[in-house]
C-alpha cells in the first residue's frame, strides 16, 4: 500500500504544481495586459493634451494648466490626470504620487507605469508621460488607473484555480487511489504474503494473478521458483532417506564387527591367563609337587587371576562408564597430577615428560578422575611408543574449531590438549581402527586395546573429540578437544 500511496501522492503534487503554474502565468498575462491598456490610454491622453500644454502654461500659468488637465478627467470616470513636476518636493501640490526613489529610475523614459499605493490606500497604476514645457524643470502628466478591477480579476483567477485544483484532486485523486490500490497495492500485498509463506517453508498454493502486467509475471516466477524448490526438497528428502538407510546398515555391520572383536579380544586376553591357571591348578591337583613348587604355582595362579581381574575391570569401565561428574577444574593441575603419577613408569622407560614453562591456568568443566584416565592412557601409549626412551610433550591451548564430520556447525572455541611423542608412529592402515575396542598392536600382556576407545568415549561424553596425526618412525600427536563452554 505504501507504493500505491507514494504514486498517488506524486500524481497529486504534480497536479497542484501544474495548476498553480498555470494560474501564475494567467495572472502575469492579465497584469501585463492591464499595464499595456493603461499605457495606451495615457499615451492617447498625453497625445491629445501635449500640443496645448506649453501654450496654456505660457498664457495662464500653472492654474490654467491645472484647469486644462482637470478638464481632461472627463475622459474616464475612474482615470485621474494630474500635471506633476518630477523634481517637486513630496507633499507639494504638483509632486508625483509615487515616492521619488521609485520614480527616479524611470523619469528618463517616455512612458512608464508604476504600480503603487494611492492616497486612499488602495493600489493604483501610475503612468507618467514626460512633456517638455520648461528648459529647466522636468514635468509631465500623471495618469492614475485604479487597480481594483485587476486585483479582483486576480482573485477570481486564484479562486478558479483553487476550485479547479480541488475538483481535480478529488476526482483524479479518487480514481488514482482506487486504481493504485487495486492495480498495485493489492497484488503487491499478495506477492508479499506469498514470499512470507515461502520463507516460512510453505511452498504450496500457487499465486494466481490475472492482471497480465509485470506483477503477474513476478507471481508466475514465484510459482516456478516454488515448484523448483519443492522438487529439490523432495530430491534431498529421498537422498537423505537413502543415506540414512545405508548409515543404519553400516552401523549395524560395524556393531557386529565390534562385538566380534570384543569376543575374540576377550577370548584372547582371558585365554592365556586361564591356560596358565588351569595348567598350574592341574599340577597342584596331581599332588606331585613339592611344597615350594605348590607355593610358586599358587603365586602364579594369583598373578594371572589379578591380571584377569584388571582386564575385567577395564572391560566394565568400558561397558558401564558412569556419566561424568563435571566440575570446574584447572586442566594444568590434572595434567601435573597425571605426569607425577606416571613419573616412575616414564623413568623406567627413559622417557622425559615435558610441560611448557609458562602455564596460564586453563579451566574447563570436566570430570577430573575421568579426564585423568584419558591423559594416563595417552601418555602411557606415548611412553610405550618409545622403547629407546625420548620425550613426551604436553601442551594446552585454545583453538577455534568445528567438530569433525559436521560441516554445518560453525567453528567455536575449544581447548586443545596435545600429547606428542617422538616414537614409532602409527601405520596409516591402523589409523581407522585406532579407537575401536581391543584394537592393539602390542604383545600379549602389554596392551588390551581398550585405552584409546575408553579415552575417546570419555572425551565424547564431555562434548569433544580426539584427533590423531602421526608419521611412521617420527612420532604421533593425539589432540584432545574439549568445549570451552560445554553446551547444556
Ligand atoms: P593398547 O595400548 O592397550 O594397545 P590403545 O587403545 O591404547 O590400546 O591403543 C591401541 C593401539 O594404538 C596401540 O596398540 C598402538 O598400536 C596404537 N597407538 C596408540 N597410541 C600410540 C602412540 N602414541 N604411538 C604409536 N602407536 C600408538
Q: How far away, in angstroms, is 375 Cα from ligand 1 center?
A: 13
Cα distance from N-terminal residue to C-terminal residue, the chain = 46
Burial 84-100 (b: 16+ CB within 10 A, else e): bbbeeeeeeebbbbbee
Q: How far away, in angstroms, is 440 Cα from ligand 1 center?
A: 6
Give the 3-state secondary structure of the chain: CHHHHHHHHHHHHHHHHHHHHHHHHHHHHHHHHHHHHHHHHHHHHHHHHHCCHHHHHHHHHHHHHHHHHHHHHHHCCCCEEEEEECCCCCCCCCCCCCCHHHHHCCCCCCCEEEEEECCCCCEEEEEEEEECCCCCCCEEEEEEEECHHHHHHHHHHHHHHHHHHHHHHHHHHHHHHHHHHHHHHHHHHHHHHHHHHHHCCCCCCCCCCCCCCHHHHHHHHHHHHHHHHHHHHHHHHHHHHHHHHHHHHHHHHHHHHHHHHHHHHHHHHHHHHHHHHHHHHHHHHHCCCCHHHHHHHHHHHHHHHHHHHHHHHHHHHHHCCCCCCCEEEEHHHHHHHHHHHHHHHHHHCCEEEECCCCCCCCEEEECHHHHHHHHHHHHHHHHHCCCCCEEEEEEEEEEEECCCCCCCCCCEEEEEEEEEECCCCCCHHHHCCCCCCCCCCCCCCCCCCCHHHHHHHHHHHCCCEEEEEEECCCEEEEEEEEECCCCC
The answer to whether the CB of 389 falls within 8 A of the CB of 346 is: no
Q: Indicate the pLDDT class of residue 173, thresholds 50, 70 and 90.
A: confident
What atom of ligand 1 comes closest to residue 453's alpha carbon?
Answer: 6
Q: Indicate the pLDDT class of residue 488, thresholds 50, 70 and 90.
A: very low
What atom of ligand 1 comes closest to residue 382's alpha carbon?
Answer: 23
The answer to whether the CB of 422 falls within 8 A of the CB of 485 is: no
Q: What is the pLDDT of residue 238?
A: 92
- Does the pLDDT at position 74 exceed 50? no
Q: How far away, in angstroms, is 373 Cα from ligand 1 center?
A: 15
Hey, whose CA ends up nearest to atom 14 of ligand 1? 440
The answer to whether the CB of 128 falls within 8 A of the CB of 142 is: yes
Smallest Cα–Cα separation from 368: which of 324, 336, 411?
324
Hey, whose CA ends up nearest to atom 25 of ligand 1? 425
The answer to whether the CB of 125 falls within 8 A of the CB of 113 is: yes
What atom of ligand 1 comes closest to residue 419's alpha carbon?
Answer: 23
Ligand 1 lining (C-beta closer than 6 Å):
377, 381-382, 385, 421, 423-424, 426, 434, 439-442, 447-453, 476
Across-strand partners of 128?
112, 142
As a dihedral over the C-alpha atoms of residue 118, residue 124, residue 130, residue 134, rounded to 10 degrees, the angle is -20
pLDDT, tens digit (0-9, with 9 covering 90-100), for 93-103: 888 888 877 77
Q: How far away, in angstroms, is 178 Cα from ligand 1 center?
A: 81
The answer to whether the CB of 346 falls within 8 A of the CB of 338 is: no
What atom of ligand 1 comes closest to residue 439's alpha carbon?
Answer: 10
* Higher per-residue pLDDT: 208 or 228: 228
Q: What is the pLDDT of residue 415?
A: 95
Q: How far away, in angstroms, is 474 Cα from ligand 1 center?
A: 15
Across-strand partners of 393?
354, 420
Q: What is the pLDDT of residue 232?
A: 92
Q: What is the pLDDT of residue 254?
A: 62
Q: How far away, in angstroms, is 163 Cα from ligand 1 center?
A: 99
Which residues neighbour 181 within 8 Å (Cβ) at sequence distance 6 or greater? Answer: 1, 4
What atom of ligand 1 comes closest to residue 448's alpha carbon?
Answer: 3
Q: What is the pLDDT of residue 262?
A: 66
What atom of ligand 1 comes closest to residue 421's alpha carbon?
Answer: 23
* Dist. CA 300–CA 307, nearest whole Å: 11
Q: How far away, in angstroms, is 461 Cα from ligand 1 center?
A: 21
Q: How far away, in angstroms, is 248 Cα from ligand 1 center?
A: 29
What atom of ligand 1 comes closest to residue 478's alpha carbon?
Answer: 23
Residue corresponding to grid cell 518630477 = 86
Query: Which mutation among 386, 440, 444, 454 tests ligand 1's pocket best, with the greatest number of atoms within 8 A of CB?
Result: 440
* Dist. CA 330–CA 365, nearest whole Å: 9
* Rama region for 350: left / alpha / beta (φ>0; ψ in -120 to 50; rest): left
Q: What is the pLDDT of residue 33?
A: 87
pLDDT, tens digit (0-9, with 9 covering 90-100), for 289-342: 899 999 999 999 999 899 888 878 777 766 656 677 889 999 999 999 999 988
Overall size of the chain counted in residues: 488
As a dihedral over the C-alpha atoms of residue 223, residue 225, residue 230, residue 233, rounded to 10 degrees, the angle is -170
What is the arithmetic mean of pLDDT over 20-46? 84
pLDDT, tens digit (0-9, with 9 covering 90-100), for 391-444: 999 999 999 988 887 667 788 899 999 999 999 999 999 998 899 888 888 876
* Dist. CA 105–CA 94, nearest whole Å: 19
Q: What percent of the chain has pLDDT over 90?
A: 30
C-alpha cell recorded at residue 9: 501522492
Query: Which mutation among 447, 448, 472 tests ligand 1's pocket best, with the greatest number of atoms within 8 A of CB?
Result: 447
Hey, whose CA ends up nearest to atom 7 of ligand 1? 451
Radius of gyration of the chain (CA): 56
What is the arithmetic mean of pLDDT over 452-474? 92
* Dist. CA 404–CA 478, nearest whole Å: 15
User: Which pTM does this prediction carry?
Assistant: 0.48
Amino acid at each position: 500500500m505504501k507504493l500505491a500511496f507514494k504514486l498517488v501522492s506524486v500524481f497529486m503534487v504534480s497536479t497542484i504544481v501544474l495548476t498553480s503554474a498555470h494560474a501564475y502565468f494567467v495572472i502575469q498575462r492579465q497584469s501585463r495586459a492591464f499595464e499595456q491598456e493603461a499605457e495606451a490610454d495615457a499615451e492617447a491622453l498625453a497625445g491629445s493634451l501635449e500640443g496645448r500644454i506649453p501654450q496654456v502654461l505660457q498664457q495662464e500659468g500653472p492654474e490654467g494648466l491645472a484647469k486644462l488637465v482637470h478638464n481632461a478627467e472627463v475622459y474616464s470616470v475612474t482615470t485621474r490626470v494630474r500635471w506633476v513636476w518630477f523634481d517637486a518636493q513630496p507633499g507639494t501640490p504638483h509632486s508625483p504620487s509615487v515616492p521619488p526613489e521609485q520614480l527616479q529610475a524611470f523619469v528618463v523614459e517616455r512612458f512608464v507605469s508604476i504600480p503603487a499605493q494611492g492616497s486612499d490606500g488602495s493600489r493604483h497604476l501610475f503612468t507618467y508621460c514626460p512633456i517638455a514645457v520648461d528648459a529647466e524643470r522636468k514635468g509631465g502628466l500623471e495618469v492614475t488607473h485604479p487597480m481594483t478591477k485587476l486585483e479582483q480579476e486576480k482573485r477570481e483567477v486564484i479562486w478558479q484555480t483553487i476550485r479547479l485544483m480541488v475538483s481535480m484532486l478529488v476526482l483524479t485523486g479518487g480514481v488514482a487511489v482506487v486504481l493504485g490500490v487495486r492495480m498495485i497495492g493489492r497484488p503487491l500485498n499478495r506477492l508479499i504474503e506469498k514470499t512470507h509463506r515461502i520463507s516460512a517453508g510453505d511452498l504450496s498454493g500457487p499465486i494466481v494473478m490475472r492482471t497480465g502486467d509485470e506483477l503477474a509475471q513476478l507471481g508466475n516466477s514465484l510459482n516456478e521458483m516454488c515448484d523448483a524448490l519443492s522438487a529439490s526438497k523432495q530430491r534431498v528428502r529421498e537422498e537423505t532417506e537413502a543415506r540414512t538407510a545405508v548409515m543404519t546398515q553400516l552401523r549395524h555391520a560395524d556393531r557386529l564387527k565390534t562385538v566380534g572383536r570384543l569376543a575374540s579380544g576377550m577370548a584372547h586376553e582371558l585365554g592365556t591367563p586361564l591356560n596358565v591357571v588351569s595348567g598350574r591348578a592341574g599340577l597342584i591337583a596331581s599332588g606331585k609337587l613339592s611344597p615350594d613348587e605348590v607355593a610358586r604355582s599358587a603365586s602364579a595362579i594369583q598373578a594371572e587371576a589379578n591380571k584377569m581381574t584388571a582386564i575385567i575391570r577395564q572391560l566394565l569401565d568400558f561397558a558401564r562408564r558412569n556419566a561424568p561428574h563435571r566440575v570446574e577444574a584447572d586442566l594444568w593441575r590434572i595434567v601435573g597430577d597425571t605426569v607425577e603419577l606416571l613419573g616412575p613408569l616414564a623413568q623406567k622407560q627413559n622417557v622425559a615428560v615435558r610441560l611448557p614453562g609458562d602455564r596460564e591456568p586453563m579451566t574447563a568443566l570436566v570430570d577430573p578422575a575421568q579426564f585423568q584416565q584419558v591423559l594416563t592412557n595417552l601418555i602411557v601409549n606415548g611412553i610405550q611408543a618409545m622403547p629407546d626412551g625420548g620425550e613426551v610433550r604436553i601442551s594446552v591451548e585454545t583453538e577455534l574449531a568445528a567438530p569433525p564430520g559436521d560441516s554445518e556447525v560453525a567453528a567455536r572455541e575449544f581447548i586443545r590438549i596435545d600429547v606428542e611423542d617422538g616414537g614409532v608412529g602409527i601405520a596409516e592402515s591402523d589409523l581407522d581402527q585406532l579407537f575401536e575396542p581391543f584394537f592393539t598392536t602390542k604383545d600379549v600382556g602389554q596392551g588390551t586395546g581398550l585405552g584409546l576407545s575408553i579415552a575417546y568415549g570419555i572425551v565424547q561424553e564431555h562434548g569433544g573429540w580426539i584427533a590423531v596425526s602421526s608419521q611412521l618412525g617420527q612420532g604421533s600427536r593425539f589432540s584432545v578437544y574439549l568445549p570451552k563452554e560445554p553446551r547444556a
